Amino acid sequence: MSITCLIIDDEPLARELVREFLEQHNDLKLIGECSKGTEAVEKIDELRPDLIFLDVQMPGMTGFDVLDKIEHDPFVIFTTAYDQYAIKAFEKNAVDYLLKPIDQERFKLAVDRALARMNSENNVGELLRSIKTENRTSYDSHIFVQKSEKLINLPVEEIEHLEASGDYTILTTKNDQFVSSSGIGKLEEILNPEIFIRVHRSTIININSLKEIEKHFNGGMVVKMNNGKTFPVSRTYAKLIRKKVV
């Protein structure tokens, strides 16, 4: 089965280089290219690629803007000439961050990382989580999170939402934020799925902190929390939200 890919870059030569590198990978299938962010949003939601190669600086809309607007939830490898956006890229749960001019070996490493994460998340990870959820009768009511040099006993019910940040997870409460060294998938296993709903690969929300759901004309949804924070709902997880609609 081929992994479908989309190249998003306003520079023709940059797109051509990524295209040439992709030809060396038989398991990757290029299904389109975009030179503008607005076009990218449309094609990502229409073609639903497994993996996108995304530039940061583009006319009218940045790569980060694209990720904020799409409903589909692809794996992302950033390709850019600017190194200052790396932290923000990994906060968006990017697989990798390639600096131009891109080296072929470095490109191969990024692709290998993407394939490894796809295999982990889509197969073994999801299967294990479903098995544990089905067999579990109780969930943690408190967890210990680090704050400076202390470990804080945090009631799980106080967590309003969780956001993946690379290999870490940011837990937000009404009055504070904590960074966990556990990945968001691992934390999902210990949280009650009737209360903590995954709305995106990188986001879990507490249903009790959800204020409203905005439905878009294209069928997409955005959840708005009591604290004003908004998160897109990827189509992969939209069914979990729809189950709550009466």
Q: What is the mean pLDDT of residues 118-125?
A: 59
With the C-alpha atoms ordered 161, 127, 89, 166, is the resulting torsion angle positive or negative?
Answer: positive
212-245 pLDDT per residue, tens: 988 876 567 889 999 999 998 887 777 777 777 7
Residue 129 has pLDDT above 60, yes or no: no
Contacts of 5 (CB under 8 A, 6+ apart): 22, 28, 29, 30, 31, 49, 50, 51, 52, 53
Q: What b-and-e string marks burial along 190-208, b requiring 16 or more CB atoms within 10 Å of the CB?
A: ebbbeebbbbbbbbbbbee
Q: If you write DSSP's letter for every residue of 172-218 in order, what string do you get?
A: E-SS-EEEESS-HHHHHHHS-TTTEEEEETTEEEEGGGEEEEEEPTT
Report DSSP state, residue 50: S
CA distance 200 to 231: 8
Verdict on whether the full-model pTM lies above 0.75 = no
104-115 pLDDT per residue, tens: 999 999 999 998
Model confidence band, residue 128 (pLDDT cutoffs 50, 70, 90)? very low
5-36 pLDDT per residue, tens: 999 999 999 999 999 999 999 989 999 999 99
Q: Which pLDDT score is estimated for 186?
A: 85
Better-predicted residue by pLDDT, 102 or 87 = 102
CA distance 66 to 95: 16
Asked if 49 contacts 71 with a C-beta cutoff of 8 angstroms, the reply is no
With CA atoms as reference, report the closest residue to 176 among 145, 203, 222.
145
Asked if 239 contacts 77 with a C-beta cutoff of 8 angstroms, the reply is no
Asked if 82 contacts 56 with a C-beta cutoff of 8 angstroms, the reply is yes
Question: What are 161's two structure tokens?
Answer: 């939402």
Q: Which range is least confidently modeled, 78-87, 145-154, 210-219?
A: 210-219
173-225 pLDDT per residue, tens: 999 999 998 888 889 888 998 899 999 888 999 999 999 988 876 567 889 99
- Domains of the chain plus CATH, in order, are 3-128 (3.40.50.2300), 142-242 (2.40.50.1020)
